[in-house]
Structure 1
């Protein structure tokens, strides 16, 4: 598997930095993982957006899905779409309320929503705990601890596995989600402090502890807010798990 970072800024886009967005590729299949603010622009620097074979959204906060609206415009109105050579409907695996939430984001008034439900653009599939095949990948999603319905995912192919925390505070499912994976792509939105709100995000220290305790081979830190000191987050993780690193927009990682 190959992981490409389209964006890794936490909560909002940063200066010249898109919010959360990733590509996983294997056997010629391109799986998008998140499509936050600014990521469609970055996608166009590395791939034709029509190359996307499927999309997984861990949750429906804008920094993880805002550019679905822009992708809708492209897939609906591009003057030369690659149909029927490629499927017209893009599979989107997301929380169960994604069809309504994303349609509301695309068409914010009732009159427009009456004529669009995005079903001409996407085939929606609710995330769940049962393994699902998405192209050559096996994907398992588990609910995590965040203010809106949110999931962490394990993606496996060819004996390799990547776990992605999505956005979450520490919770009981994370050690099993990350158990023995080759790469843990973990959010680390802030530095560690006892006054951080519960059930929202992980610190660098907590991400490092998760990687250490779950037997992870490599930890990649992402979703660091623009107002957070990235080096301080990394230092916290390295103190407990030496195999830690920061992802960079445009970075490519073999798994």
Structure 2
């Protein structure tokens, strides 16, 4: 598997930095995990968005799905798409409310809100229990701790595993999600402190402790907001996790 960072700024886009979005490739199949503010621009620098095989949204906060509206415009109004997009709708795996909420975000005005339907170009699918096959990937979605319905995502291919926390506070299911993963792509939104709100995000220390407990091969830290000192988050993670750990960078690629 090849992981490419479309954006990794936490909560909001940063200066010249897109929010959360990740391209995962194997056997010529392209899957995108999250499509936050600014990520469609980076995706176009990596590949033709019409070549996507599937889109997976961990949750519906804007920094993880805002560019879905732009992707809708592309799929509906490109003057010369490479195929009939209404015959090859893009599979979108997302929380239950995705069709309605994403339609609301796209609606041109209030009068159109309830009549806007995106299923002409997208095939919405709710995360099933257990494992599902998406292209060459075996994918498992696990509910995590966040103020909205949110999932951590585990992708396996050819004996290799990438675990992605999405946005989450500490919760027991993260150990299952990350167990033995070759790469853990883990949010770390702040430095550790006793007054951090529960059920929202992980600190650098908590990300490192998770990686250590789960026995992962490599820790990649993401979702650091522009107002957080990234070096402090990384230092916490490295103090808690004895393996290789680094902050991801927009545009960078990582082999899993």
TM-score (norm 2): 0.97
Identify the residue that residue 138 of structure 1 maps to in structure 2: 138
Kept in 1: contact 2:85–2:121 (CA 8 A): no
The structural deviation recorded for 1:86 is 9.6
What 5-or-longer segments of structure 1 have no aligned partner?
none
Kept in 1: contact 2:188–2:221 (CA 8 A): yes
Distance 2:86 2:216 in 1: 37
Query: Which residues in structure 2 correspond to 1:56-75 (within 5 Å)?
Result: 56-75=56-75
Kept in 2: contact 1:35–1:64 (CA 8 A): yes
Identify the residue that residue 162 of structure 1 maps to in structure 2: 162
**Residue deviations 1:8-65 (CA, integer Å, cap 9, x gap):** 0000000000000000000000000000000001111111111111000000000000
Is 1:248 matched up with 2:249? Answer: yes
**Residue deviations 1:188-229 (CA, integer Å, cap 9, x gap):** 000000000000000000000000001111000000000000
Distance 2:147 2:199 in 1: 7
Identify the residue that residue 182 of structure 2 maps to in structure 1: 182
The structural deviation recorded for 1:113 is 3.0
Distance 2:250 2:57 in 1: 19
Kept in 1: contact 2:104–2:116 (CA 8 A): no
State how many pairs are aligned: 255
Distance 1:47 1:33 in 2: 15
Is 1:225 matched up with 2:239? Answer: no
**Residue deviations 1:138-195 (CA, integer Å, cap 9, x gap):** 0000100000000001000000000000000000100010000000000000000000
SS in 1 for 2:40: helix
The structural deviation recorded for 1:2 is 0.2
* Structure 1 range deviating more: 87-96 or 147-156: 87-96
Kept in 2: contact 1:128–1:142 (CA 8 A): no
SS in 1 for 2:43: helix
Distance 1:195 1:215 in 2: 28
TM-score (norm 1): 0.97
What 5-or-longer segments of structure 2 have no aligned partner?
none
